[in-house]
Amino acid sequence: MINTRDHVLRDPAHLRLILGSLLLAYLMALLPWGGLLLNLQPDWLLLVLLHWWLREPWRVGQGAAFAGGLLMDLAQTGVLGVHALAYSVVAWATLRLRVRLLSFSPLGQVLQILPLLLLARLLATGAALMSGGGIPSWTYFLGGLTDVLAWIPITLLLHHFDLTRSNPRS
């Protein structure tokens, strides 16, 4: 295990980094997006969760997915559980595909995670539909593309902070 990529054998990420990034992502989602931007904005929390599912699956797993989904439902003031369901399923799928996804560079991962991100939007729409919501405009699904575009900077940035932390063993 010498010539492996840095994510295989490395120190666990700081809890502060994990929680801080999740909080920041949630705050991004809480910004008053409106109109077209509402549908086109990336699913910030899901992307950050996705990063940690790949990098820290033992600490950020399906429980975090469920909790994050509930928080998203609160933020959207929708039916509670809609995003919790979607995120839980995507978390499971990501954890299944984890080893495979990690063998790609962030750019290569784009095509792999696009179906996952679209699945999240589809599941949330289906769950919202069953609990009395309407069908969102088609631009909502176009948001899957902004998701993967945002994925590259988000994962690179988080990875960068993860590696450049000061004195990891302390």
Partner 1 sequence: MSTPEFFQRGPSPFVRLVFFGALAIAVMLIDVRYQGARLVRSALSTLIYPMQQAALLPVRVIDGAGVFFSTQRRLQTDNDELRRSLTELSARSRRVASLEQELAELRELAHMPPRPASDGVLTEVLHGGRNPYVAKLVLDRGENAGLHPGQPVVDAQGVVGQVTSASPFAAEVTLVTEQNQQVPVRVLRNGLRTLTGGDGASGTISLPFLPGGADIQTGDLLVTSGIDGLYPEGIPVATVTRIESSASRVFARITCTPVAGVARDRYLLVLTRSATVSPASASAAPAAAPTATASLSASPPTAPPPSPAAAEPAHR
Contact status: 70 vs partner 1 (CB under 8 A): yes
| Residue 91 to residue 57: CA distance in whole angstroms | 10
- Candidates 14, 17, 92, 115; binder of partner 1 (CB under 8 A) is 92
Supply the DSSP string of 63-99, one letter for each residue. HHHHHHHHHHHHHHT--TTHHHHHHHHHHHHHHHTHH
Contact status: 146 vs partner 1 (CB under 8 A): no
Burial class (CB in 10 A: 0-12, 13-18, 19+), 146: middle
Nearer CB in complex with partner 1: 87/151: 87
> Restricting to residues 14-53, which ones interact with partner 1 according to CB under 8 A?
26-35, 38-39
Query: Could you give phi then psi for residue 90, rounded to 5 degrees?
Result: -65, -35
Contact status: 97 vs partner 1 (CB under 8 A): no
Nearest distance from residue 40's CB to partner 1, in Å?
10
Q: Which residues here bind partner 1, judged by CB under 8 A?
A: 26-35, 38-39, 58, 61-63, 65-66, 69-71, 74-82, 84-85, 88-89, 91-92, 95-96, 125, 127-137, 140
